[in-house]
Chain A
């Protein structure tokens, strides 16, 4: 065990030119990545190979070539031992509606090898930690989506694993529920001491939660880096304004006014709903928000919304080169940031 513990300090998950080929598709293509303790985000568009990777890491699906270790155990031979120490929260619904959360989680704890008494105690503790109180005695069928997600999280944590795989835990949640879930994920590591591998196709929400982000696309590793490198890429603002008699096309008026003050707006992705009415621009800091407010007020228009755009991962890849080009035009960026922009370009080129 001592060997395992020391290994764990360095790497929780290690893959070495891991490939998985199906007759028609290559799901993973020579993926080599080392993941340390902490919260790690695994980002990729749908079909990028995230779920395939989790399946291999749980020892449920053999890799075509290459090898992988989880907690120092080889996935090809020690699948059972890995699954005893690892929790898994699937992306899809997995809860029977006619039993209570307590009954269900107790059963799942026993399926992880916990003796009956320990299973009941751990269930009570875990449900409390994920924020389920009196409702845990009611059948799951009557729960809201947010509560169901908490039960799914609880069954992944109930056996006190060393590592949990969370597959799209924020799917289907409203913004408040999403933030609560992200906070909970953060606590899993800081308070519970459990390492987390969390997948999402939203880069924006992962960079706020994770210490480290791994981006894969088409089964290939695009980028693996600490989240501080990502922060500057996502401060995109979306603005929507009303029209007035003086400015029948409010959006255009704001765009021109901003342009006159030296702020460029990005070309909005065509075909999206409301594309013509939403302006996208890169916020350089607090002053950009003030500028937008003043410009809109001066024109006498109503500001319908001003929000930080969450990056959809595919958006980052398709618009990445273009955006980073635009960003490089502004002279306010230091050389460090520009360096990471180049990395982005490189990554995008690699992906294409």
Chain B
């Protein structure tokens, strides 16, 4: 557009808009993988309300702040009291803040997929070079990345704070890395569950309610059952019950393999065998939700 030279009109009228006619496009067409990456970045930005209305930025930014502020406070306390250890372990942080994460997933998973379904934009995507799998992968990856940013940012705050207050570098780095692996797994799991639920309904409200129900209510129910088991001295059952909610699943995996302490009532760590079951269930859920999304979008088509 910048190279357009306005035609000099004989009357000297400079404000006229000239119709310069249709110009074709001979430039490069970057194809399928570029289109997938564009969809990924657009969806990831959309998950934080960037490139969307001011109103849709409020909630994600608010939740992001809520996630980071406690971490900053902990660092401040640790520095002020010259503690030898951060008040909260890296792996424990996400479990502690699980309600905030669930709320974020509930708000953003429908945003990622229900909108396209509700306004029937999906056929426009599939009339372009990308395939069903590209669409599903781009949406899955973008939501998982968004959740990872949400959960990893406070860990980074804690890590930087810990290093600044000269806590042991090797020890902190190892724990930070374990924390990152844990939240990466959590991001994939929550993104998968959130997207599968949201992709079923074009109604955003239903999507939000259903995601909250699955993530928060299942955690509440499992915790209650574990508390009952603990009171009645069936402590061996506690890890098995934990398999039935996403939050306790991640808790189980990290307390079995990533040096965390289980947050369940009675603080029963799963055994190595149970840990393997936990990992398998988490991986099966992630793969299963990918499969379900593929099936769903094969049907939506045009």
Contact = CB atoms under 8 A, between A and B. Distances in A.
Interface of A: 51, 54-55, 58, 60-61, 80-81, 83-84, 86-88, 90, 92-99, 103, 107-108, 110-115, 118, 121-122, 124-125, 129, 139, 155, 159-160, 191-193
A58 B127 contact: yes
A137 B97 CA distance: 39
Contact of A98 (B23, B28, B30, B56): B56
Nearest to A99: B52
Contacts of B51: 103
A165 to B, nearest CB: 8
A108 B24 contact: no
11 contacts: A60-B302, A88-B123, A94-B124, A96-B119, A103-B51, A113-B28, A113-B35, A114-B25, A115-B28, A118-B25, A160-B25
Contact of B24 (A54, A83, A103, A160): A160
Given A80-B129, A84-B31, A111-B130, A193 B120 contact: no
A110 B38 contact: yes
Given A60-B301, A115-B30, A193 B24 contact: yes
Contact of B35 (A51, A55, A86, A110): A110
Given A96-B121, A103-B51, A118-B27, A111 B1 contact: no
A228 B34 CA distance: 45
Interface of B: 1, 21-25, 27-32, 34-35, 38-39, 42, 51-53, 56, 115-116, 119-121, 123-131, 301-302
B96 to A, nearest CB: 34
B5 to A, nearest CB: 16
Contacts of B27: 114-115, 118
A309 to B, nearest CB: 33
Given A60-B301, A113-B30, A159 B124 contact: no
Given A96-B119, A124-B1, A160-B25, A88 B124 contact: yes
| Leading 7 A-B pairs by shortest Cβ distance | A160-B25, A88-B127, A113-B29, A110-B38, A113-B30, A192-B22, A96-B119
A87 to B, nearest CB: 8
Contacts of B31: 80, 84, 113
Contacts of B131: 80
A191 B119 contact: no
Given A94-B119, A118-B27, A191 B127 contact: no
B247 to A, nearest CB: 32
A111 B41 CA distance: 12
Nearest to B135: A111
Contacts of A81: 129
Contacts of B38: 107, 110-111
B254 to A, nearest CB: 38
Contacts of A191: 21-22
A282 to B, nearest CB: 40
A214 B120 CA distance: 28
B160 to A, nearest CB: 33
A86 B128 CA distance: 8
Given A108-B124, A114-B25, A115-B27, A96 B115 contact: yes
A125 B19 CA distance: 10
A121 B2 CA distance: 9
Contacts of A107: 38, 42
A157 B175 CA distance: 53
Nearest to B56: A98
A51 B301 CA distance: 12
